[in-house]
Structures are given as C-alpha cells and as structure tokens.
Structure 1
Amino acid sequence: MPSFKVSLLDYGAGNVRSVRNAIFAAGFEIQEITEPGQILEAKAIIFPGVGAFGSAMRVLKEKGFDEPLRQYLAQNRPFLGICLGMQTLFESSDEHEPGKPPIPGLGVIPGKVIKFDETKMTVPHIGWNGRILHQQSPVFENVNNDDDVYFVHSFYAPVTAENKEWVLSSTTYEDERFISAVQKGCVVATQFHPEKSGPTGLKVMRAFLEAVENGTLGSTKPLEIDETATTHLTKRVVVALDVRTNDHGDLVVTKGDQYDVRENQKEGVVTGRGGVRNLGKPVALASRYYQEGGDEIAFLNITSFRQGVIEDMPMLQVLEEASKNIFVPLTVGGGIRSYSDPASGQTWSALEVASRYFRAGADKVSMGSDAVDAAEALIASGGKKTGETSLETISRVYGVQAVVVSIDPKRVYVASQDSTDKKHVVVELEGDQLGPNGERFCWYQCTAKGGREERDICAVTVARCSEALGAGEIMLNCIDMDGQCKGFDIALMKAVSEAVTIPVIASSGAGKPEHFTDVFKRANVQAALAAGMFHRKEVEIEAVKEHMRSNGIRARTCS
C-alpha cells in the first residue's frame, strides 16, 4: 500500500472525476482538500484546474487556498498541476472575467499566459499533439517520446528566457511554441490532460505518484534541445453513441436513417413501425471504442425529456460508469438547457444542468436547439449580447473549450446563389455531391428538436453566432447525409469551417475509411465523427486511421 494519500485540490469547476479515477487506477487513495489548513499538511497535491483563469484564481482566493498554496510550492513539495493548474503557477494571464480587472496568478513561474492568435490558427487548440523534452524526468520515463497527449486550451505560456529553467517539455501548434509541461524540483505541471491522454497519460500520472513515493521526483537532468524541432496536431476520430430509452425503458445505443431510429417492419408481418433499434449498451460500447483507439467519445442523449435533465439519472450514471475506465475526452449532448419542473415549480439554469454533467464525468457539453435560439436572439438584437444565454454562462465558468454546439441542418436547393434571401449563405455543390436531381446550389437550413423543427436561419449564421457567444467547437451534421454512408457533406464542412475560427467536427454520412481521409483533405475540419459503421463493425477505428496515415494525414497511435 502507498505510504501517503493524494491531496486533491478540487476548487469546484469542471470534470475532475476522471482525475480521481486515474489516481485510483494508479493504486493511490485520495484526501480531498476542503480547508486551507490541509494544504500545508499534504504529502502530494494534484490540482486539476478546469475552466477560466480569472474565475479559478478568484475561487482560490475566496476559499483562502491561494496563500497556503504559494507557501507549499515555495517549500518545493510534491505538486502536479493539470492544464489550468499549470497556468495558475504563472504571474498573470490575459484570460480574465469581462469587466473585471485581471487577477494575479500564484506567481511561482515568471511570465504571462497569453491567447493563441485566432487570425493565424484555429482556437482553441484541441486534440492530440506531441512533446519535445527539455529535461529528463521520472514523470516521463515510462512513455515514448513520440506518444501524443491530449490538449484543450485557448491560452498558453510561451517559452521565455526568464522561465526557461522550468520547461520540462514544449509543443508547437502552427507557428507557436508553448510550454506543455514544467518541472523544477518536486513541482510539476502539464498543459495537457494526463487523465484524458489514454494509456500514455495514465503512465505519466502513475510515474509522478511513484516518484513521490520513492523520493526520486526531483531527479531531473537538462537535455540538449533542437530549437527547430516541431510537433503536429493529429486529426481526431470521434465515435458518437446516440443514446435513448427503448420501449422497455432501458438505455440503449441506437442509430437510424435521417434520425429515424426505429426498425422498419415488413408489410404483412407487423403493422406499423418497429421498436427502437438496439446496437448495444452505452458503457460497454464506449469502453470498446476506447480500447480500439477512439480519440473522443460523444454520448448524444436523443431521448425526449418528459422530466427534467437533473433527474435524468440513467444518463448521469452512464457518464459516471464510463469515466471509470475510459481516459479520453467524453462529450454529452441532449437537454443542456434551462428548464422548470412543472410539479415543483423549481427552475434550473443551463449552467446548473451542465455542471451536473461535468461532475458526472463529461469533459464537454453539446448544445443544439438552445444554440439556434440564442443565434436568432443575437441577430434580432443587432448583435448585442445579454451575457445570459446558455452558451455565455457555461463558457464563462468552464471556458469555451467545454462548450460544443451541434448544428443539424438540411439542404434547401435553389436555382442559383442569388435566388434566395440574402441572409442565407448559398453554397455551390461539388460534382460528386450534387442534389438528387442534379441540383448545384443550396443553403443549409438549421433545425431544432432533433430535426423535427425547421428554422429560418442557416448553418453558417448559427456557427458564427455560436462562436461569438462562447462556443469552443462546432459539431456539424447534415440530415440529408445521415445514415446514407455516402460520405460527409463536403460543401457544408467547407462553408462552416471557413466562416469560423473554432474547431469543426464533421458528422453525418461516413460509411468507409475513405470518407474520413476525403473530408480531412477537402475541408479544414479538425475531427470527423461516425457512429453506425463502428457500431455494426463494418469498419474498425484502426482501419480508418491507417487509411489516413497512408494518405499523409496524421492520426494518433493507441499505445
């Protein structure tokens, strides 16, 4: 048994369940830090910071954690900061709450945290990237130097002459080099998320704790650095699980053709439509995809909510169970909105609903209908933000990287680019993806409520508004392509990815490995998603990645 318990500094924002599970997987027990006095008594502290720098530092200060933490760090005692937990070690950050003065960081490391330039690159930096080692450390001794790890952030700490001695590893994104890990003595921190970096991340977590246990944590050695060395962000393969209750009340993974998830019954055998198509249990399928190399997993709750989301215990339990053994990012979508319980009269905000999902194990929440409503309201107001929409409130607390907007449009064919309302963006379709009657032009009409309600607003407009309101990523579907296995809607993907600076996930239509390679080559999307072809075992995840690699597209190797 380990000789100490890990002191977890959970200041109350984001998904720390996976960090707890990673600590348990390493064979260690946890002591929760709830009072400032516990900090200086700790044997080893892990600080998994999730959210925004300003709000995190404000909470630390309000709880009285900031000064004891500075003292603990000054004593060179074992510490592992994760993501925001690393950024707070610096003197300051450009990320602060609107209308409020910047709050100083802990000031342990010289330098300022700054934002990636959206005019030069897609922001946030989301996905799997590499590391260039600046020091030899026990923390990295069990992982290969070329193993990718998972990042999700908009702000970064640049390498400077003043903080150079702290740099454990650096990473490049486009033309920017940033600090991806720091270590000085027993103080360690990573910009990436070990608890979301699969087997590689678990090895990092275990190595840190074991080095604390055997007293070797501070045994580092400088390395010769190639200043021209670079790393590269991989393209992500995302697996989606459409989850809903079947006719017996059980949660199942299903898939349909253009959102129809019921089996078709043969005429003369059974009258009417059949039961909900059952492709497996959510946790079991998700675990399989983690083992097979899925880069992210999205649970999309397509059940119609008769009760409030807070009482949607089965879905919360799915997240809690999945996060025990799945150490890649988990997204949950469906019902992330404000609502009132007609029975009790109690009202919950979208932020409270999202918080419940984060605490259950979600890393990101996906919003659909609420985002369309917010986009329409933003346009109607002449572009004036209220600060009260679901997108704004959630991203303000948890950061834009935690908010995904799922857009579900359908094609509306037109005769030319000038033959419809000017507020809609008309695109020209490419030769291999023309309409059923050879149509060459269309605009993409957004829908709400699972495709059942059409709105007079196009997908490009909703994407732009969502970015303005605080979305960090777009999950872009196309109802016309859903279930067709003929490939992604390239025109849609290009139109939206060219209109926003946040990452875009291509969805709807994949049926073979070539479709992933095709969309990555023809559109500037950062990830592509599939469901049915994986559920039915028609295609393996590794087959998709191998096809990508053979065509010059970088894909993560699952070690």
Structure 2
Amino acid sequence: MISLLDYGAGNVRSVRNAIHKLGFQLTEITKPDDILAAERLIFPGVGAFGAAMSRLAALGYLEPLRAYLAAGRPFLGICIGLQCLFEGSDESPDVPGLGLIPGRIRRFDDGRLSVPHMGWNGIRRERDVPLLADYDGEKLYFVHSYHAEPTPANDEWILATTDYGVRFVSAVQRGQVAAVQFHPEKSGAAGLRLIERFLTGDRGPSRPSPGVAARRASDSPTTRFAKRIIACLDVRANDAGDLVVTKGDQYDVREAGEVRNLGKPVELAQRYYDEGADEIAFLNITGFRDFPLADQPMLEVLRRTSENVFVPLTIGGGIRAFTDADGRHYSALDVADEYFRSGADKISIGSDAVATVEQVLARGGPDGTSAIEQIATVYGNQAVVISIDPRRVYVDASEASRPGVIETALPGPGGERHCWFQCTVKGGREGRPVDAVTLARICEWLGAGEILLNSIDRDGTGSGFDLELVKAVSDAVSIPVIASSGAGGVEHFAEVFARTDVEAALAAGIFHRREVPIAAVKAHLRSLGIEVRH
C-alpha cells in the first residue's frame, strides 16, 4: 500500500501523476490511522515550515507520523517533507519540527545569489546507495529559501549535498527513511527514476562509501546551478470558441482579423517537455472571468498537462478575487488554491500586482490583505511570480532624478537619453504611474518569490531582450528574474545571461513556430560555457 500524505500544501497532483505514470496505485491519507496502516508513505509539500507543521497538528497527523518514522518504516519526504524531519526552522522559529534529525533549517543568506534557490542544480552523492545511483552529473529541480545544514550531529543521515553559496543537505537516508530537498516529480526522467526506486524498495544499505570522509574534507567539485529556458504559452479562446495557443506582436494576437492559432495548449506543452524545456508557463489572456471557478478552462489544461509533463508549471491570468455570474465570490487565495490542486507549481500575478503596489504606496505600507501576501503566507514565496508588462517612457535630462529613470544607450524619438519603464495593465493597453523597478522591489517585500519581466517594446520583434530593463530590475531585487520578450535567435539567450544576472529566459513565438528549437538554444549556451540542463 503506497500512501500519500496530502495535507493541502500546494501542488501534490504531480506526485500522484508521477506514481500513476510509473504504473503504481495510490492510497490517500484521510485520517490519522491511515498513516500507521501505510506500507510506503510519501510526504510531499511546498510552502512555509510553520504552516505545514500547524496543518499536520490540526489534522492529528503528528503523533502517528512520529510513530511511523520511529519504527523506521519506508518513507520518502519531498521538500518540506525533508525540512519537517529536523528539529526546527528559522522560517518559523517558535514551531518545533518532528525532531527525527538533529539540526535546524536555515535561510540562504549569501547576498550574491537570488533567494529562493529556484531551478536545476546537481547533487553530490555522499553515500553509495541505489536510491541515487548514477545521479552524478544529473540536474534536479529545487525551489526553496531555507536549507538543512550538514553537521557532525546529523552526518549519519546525509545521503547527498548540493552547493548554492553554501553546501547544504539535498538528500537524507537512514534505513528505510529517506527525504530529498529537490522535487523528483518536477525533475523529468531523472526524478521519476528516483520515485520508482523508492516504490519498488530498491534502496540498499546506507553505509558510507570508501573515501567519503576524505572527500568531504577536501575541496570536492561543486555542483553547478543551471540557467533555465522556459517555454511560454499564451492561451485564449479564438473566435470559434476553441482554446488555442496564440502569440501577439506588441500584444496584438490577431492576424487578418483572426486570432493566431499556433496549436493546442496541452499538446504544445508536451512537445516542449519532450524537447527539454526547463519549465512551462501558461498565461491565460482571455476573459474566463464569469465562469464558476470549477469550470475554468485553464484548470483542465493544467490537469491534463500535469499527467505527462514533469517539469514546473506556472499559470498566470485571472489570479485575483472575483464574483462569478452566479454571484459566488472567490478570494485570490481560493483561485490560487484551485490552480495548485489542478497541477500548477507557481501562479503569476500581473495587473493585480500593479493595483496592490499603488495601494501600498498610497497608504505607506502593506496591510496583509493582498493576493501576494496571502498566497505567499500559505504556499511560500516561491509559489508567487509577479508578471510585469512595462514600456519605455522617454524623458529629458530635467527628469533624470525621478525614481526609476535610467540613462539609456537607446535614445528616444527626440534624442532623449533618459527613460523609465512604465508598468501597464489590461494587456498593455493602459499605463500606470508606477515604474517596473519600484513594482519589483515592493512585490519582493510583500512576499513574491520571482519576477517574470516582459517588455511591450520588444514583444514579437525578434530584436533581443531589453537588456537595460532586465539589468535595472534584476539589480534591484534579490529574488530570481525571468527575462522575457524579444528573443529572435540563440545569441539573444546567451547575451541576456552574459550581460545580466537573470536566472532564466523565456520565449514563445520562436518556439511555437520552430524558428529556434530549445535544443539549439541549450547547445549554443553550452558551447559558451553557460551551464544548462541536458
């Protein structure tokens, strides 16, 4: 009996789908007694340490879970499922963990690196066991702001470590109890292989390999963090009512009066997964606003995609409070929850973020009611992406000192040498007085974990990313930034990674039309020594 401990923490649908994809049946934990009845227990989770432990306590799961672990029965923890095994976390200082492994969970504090640690990284095997056999050189997907520290007290547990500014624990095992900080259900074929080994009982002894102690004491090779290549699918209903992937030029998706139809969303997502995309983003650019939430078409797209696509999925568009045609009100948290349960790993907030920042500026601070704050509190910062749609506004030298203004190497139509990046809403049709740098900083303060940075000026041009915009925003925040809009060739991806500190680059039309294959982008980056996932 394989049992899943689903306590309501983010996207566990992908774990279910991975298990089913491997040909195994799954039993859900619905009451405390089910934990002790399990033969193999999987504890996945994303979000905040304190929220996870509080939820386990409220459901009455803590004591049977402790008893199951104390008996050394087959267990696989994922992400928060690893962190909760420790004594406590700096994320929630007053909340005790399960206390099975000595030590506390600490926040990454290297100011040179973005936090969360979000993306594909390697692991350094510290013990030779079948669970992680042949994983040298593999990239696995991580998304977390807090990490377990390796110490002499927990040395016997350490199965693998990873480097991100510091060396941290990325996998533990003692006997039949194991846990990983990365997400195997989001790590493609490599992750599915690990899950299958756990399910089949192919685990082996957890004795140190010969020479492990000496290797730890030496300067062992560091793991390398990869740049991400993301495929973006703009999804809307066409004039016939069919759900299609489209692409606009400066956000105009019509051609000869018809909505451009570049394929079906589920089929295209599968293609990009097969071609090596590191993540897939769905942006809902149509008006499914009056539907009851349960009937939102994008929910079905996510459900079907997550059955066969095992890399992170982001969904954007409509993540806000609304009242449907039947008069039922949904909070932004309600909407986000439904998307997470349908297969999303991250949600993207656009126009609503602009309105939130304007309100924060007007009242001088946050009040805890915004969608960003609420979703980040429940699901963790890494679950919230802010999608910014700015356009250049040129000003003369007299306005050079206003917030957000930069000196540009691309003069304006009147020869202006200064500009700022105005945030827009309603698909780029309406400009707002807040600039992109200010918006990004305040959204990070409110709890966002990533910025998706578009450019209305570059969208669909194929002329390359707006490097001045990308650098201005990425230099202003400490969370990861995705560069978007303008890619026309492999050289543009190399350029944005070489000249800015962004962690990821996104494209849409050139991938849809097969003008630039994802494999070609990665091959070019690899030839220049830029780390990417194979």
On whether the aligned pair clears a TM of 0.5, the verdict is yes
Residue 145 of structure 2 aligns with an amino acid whose one-letter code is S
Query: Aligned partners of 2:508, 2:110: CA distance in 1, in Å?
Result: 31
Corresponding residue SS for 1:144: coil
Residue 303 of structure 1 aligns with an amino acid whose one-letter code is T
* Structure 2 residue 176 is the aligned partner of structure 1 residue 197: no
Query: Aligned partners of 1:366, 1:541: CA distance in 2, in Å?
Result: 23
Instruction: Please give the per-residue CA displacement for 1:25-71, whole angstroms capped at 9, x wherever unaligned.
Output: 22210010011011111100000012110000001011110111011
Query: Aligned partners of 1:162, 1:124: CA distance in 2, in Å?
Result: 26
Aligned to 1:297: 280
**1:393: how far off?**
0.1
Between 1:516-525 and 1:219-228, the stretch displaced more is 219-228
Are the structure 2 counterparts of residues 233 and 320 from structure 1 closer, same or farther at C-alpha, using a change threshold of 3 Å? same
Residue 172 of structure 2 aligns with an amino acid whose one-letter code is V
* Structure 2 residue 405 is the aligned partner of structure 1 residue 467: no
Aligned to 1:396: 377
TM-score w.r.t. structure 2 length? 0.97
**1:138: how far off?**
1.6
Matches within 5 A, 1:57-456: 57-96=53-92, 102-117=94-109, 119-141=111-133, 143-174=134-165, 176-211=166-201, 216-223=202-209, 224-225=211-212, 226-227=215-216, 228-229=219-220, 230-263=222-255, 265=256, 274-308=257-291, 310-341=293-324, 343-382=325-364, 384-416=365-397, 418-419=398-399, 422=402, 424-430=403-409, 433-435=410-412, 439-456=416-433
Query: Aligned partners of 2:181, 2:234: CA distance in 1, in Å?
Result: 31
**8 Å contact from structure 1 (residues 23, 205) kept in 2:** yes
**1:118: how far off?**
5.5
**8 Å contact from structure 1 (residues 308, 340) kept in 2:** no
Corresponding residue SS for 1:136: coil
Corresponding residue SS for 1:297: strand
Query: Aligned partners of 1:302, 1:118: CA distance in 2, in Å?
Result: 37
Between 1:225-234 and 1:29-38, the stretch displaced more is 225-234
**1:345: how far off?**
2.8
Instruction: Please give the per-residue CA displacement for 1:520-550, whole angstroms capped at 9, x wherever unaligned.
Output: 0101100000000000000110110111111
Are the structure 2 counterparts of residues 309 and 497 from structure 1 closer, same or farther at C-alpha, using a change threshold of 3 Å? farther
Query: Aligned partners of 2:9, 2:115: CA distance in 1, in Å?
Result: 21
**1:415: how far off?**
2.2
Residue 219 of structure 1 aligns with an amino acid whose one-letter code is P
Aligned to 1:270: none
Are the structure 2 counterparts of residues 542 and 61 from structure 1 closer, same or farther at C-alpha, using a change threshold of 3 Å? same
Return the match for 1:497 from 474, 493, 501. Answer: 474
**1:313: how far off?**
2.7
Are the structure 2 counterparts of residues 114 and 349 from structure 1 closer, same or farther at C-alpha, using a change threshold of 3 Å? same
Query: Aligned partners of 1:470, 1:381: CA distance in 2, in Å?
Result: 18
Query: Aligned partners of 2:56, 2:98: CA distance in 1, in Å?
Result: 10
Instruction: Please give the per-residue CA displacement for 1:91-144, whole angstroms capped at 9, x wherever unaligned.
Output: 000112xxxx62110000000001011634210000000000011112122x43
Query: Aligned partners of 1:182, 1:24: CA distance in 2, in Å?
Result: 25
Residue 399 of structure 2 aligns with an amino acid whose one-letter code is S
**8 Å contact from structure 1 (residues 118, 501) kept in 2:** no
Instruction: Please give the per-residue CA displacement for 1:384-416, whole angstroms capped at 9, x wherever unaligned.
Output: 221110000000000000000000000001223
Instruction: Please give the per-residue CA displacement for 1:334-388, whole angstroms capped at 9, x wherever unaligned.
Output: 00001123x4332111000000000000000000011111111111122x22111
Query: Aligned partners of 1:469, 1:305: CA distance in 2, in Å?
Result: 27
* Structure 2 residue 504 is the aligned partner of structure 1 residue 527: yes
**1:222: how far off?**
1.0
Instruction: Please give the per-residue CA displacement for 1:463-485, whole angstroms capped at 9, x wherever unaligned.
Output: 00100011000000010000000
Query: Aligned partners of 1:36, 1:138: CA distance in 2, in Å?
Result: 31
**8 Å contact from structure 2 (residues 123, 135) kept in 1:** no
Size of the aligned set, in residue pairs, is 528
Query: Aligned partners of 2:468, 2:272: CA distance in 1, in Å?
Result: 29
Aligned to 1:477: 454
Between 1:527-536 and 1:110-119, the stretch displaced more is 110-119
RMSD (Å) for aligned C-alpha atoms: 1.4
**1:304: how far off?**
2.1
Are the structure 2 counterparts of residues 67 and 311 from structure 1 closer, same or farther at C-alpha, using a change threshold of 3 Å? closer
Corresponding residue SS for 1:548: helix
**8 Å contact from structure 1 (residues 138, 208) kept in 2:** no
**8 Å contact from structure 2 (residues 115, 479) kept in 1:** yes
Unmatched runs of 5 consecutive residues or more in structure 1: 266-273
Unmatched runs of 5 consecutive residues or more in structure 2: none
Instruction: Please give the per-residue CA displacement for 1:148-206, whole angstroms capped at 9, x wherever unaligned.
Output: 000000000011110111000000002x1100000000001000000000010001111
Query: Aligned partners of 1:491, 1:322: CA distance in 2, in Å?
Result: 35
Query: Aligned partners of 1:421, 1:453: CA distance in 2, in Å?
Result: 24
Are the structure 2 counterparts of residues 107 and 541 from structure 1 closer, same or farther at C-alpha, using a change threshold of 3 Å? same
Residue 117 of structure 2 aligns with an amino acid whose one-letter code is H
Query: Aligned partners of 1:115, 1:441: CA distance in 2, in Å?
Result: 38
TM-score w.r.t. structure 1 length? 0.92
Query: Aligned partners of 1:132, 1:157: CA distance in 2, in Å?
Result: 15
Residue 275 of structure 1 aligns with an amino acid whose one-letter code is E
Aligned to 1:271: none
Corresponding residue SS for 2:152: coil
Are the structure 2 counterparts of residues 63 and 470 from structure 1 closer, same or farther at C-alpha, using a change threshold of 3 Å? same
Query: Aligned partners of 2:138, 2:416: CA distance in 1, in Å?
Result: 46
Query: Aligned partners of 2:112, 2:94: CA distance in 1, in Å?
Result: 25
Residue 139 of structure 1 aligns with an amino acid whose one-letter code is L
